[in-house]
Amino acid sequence: MKLVFLLCMSFVLASAKTLPERCYRIASYGDCDEYHPMWAYSQFEMKCFRFDYSGCGGNNNRFNSQSECQRSCYEKSETTTTTVSTTTEKTTFPSEFYW
């Protein structure tokens, strides 16, 4: 049972995201009264979303565009394409079976 648990934990840790620290922060609207359209990353939804930034304060989970947010916070596996080559093996059977 312990072995199964260790294997499961190894899989979870190996597949964990390695995002920049700023991507793990909850978006903060700041302390001022202005409204600037910005983008932030949600680690719970695993996507970037638009929000209104107040102009001061907050944290660094704030991007000027959706593409900047995606480049910074999406996993490489989500943004790159991997080509997999496959091979086909031909299997031959004798035309007659002998008993």
Contact present, 23 and 73 (Cβ < 8 Å) = yes
- CA 85 to chain CA mean position, Å: 24
If you search the block for the tokens 């996993």, which residue do you land on?
Answer: 75
Mean pLDDT of 65-69: 97
Domain spans, the chain? 19-75
Q: Top-level CATH class of 19-75?
A: few secondary structures
Q: What's at 11, amino acid-wise? A: F
**3-state SS record for 15-48:** CCCCCCHHHHCCCCCCCCCCCEEEEEEECCCCEE
| Per-residue pLDDT tens over the stretch 6-55 | 554 544 444 455 889 999 999 999 999 999 999 999 999 999 999 999 99
Whether this prediction's pTM lies above 0.85 is answered by no
Structure-block tokens of residue 48: 């970037």
**For the chain, how many residues are written?**
99
Average pLDDT over residues 51-68: 96
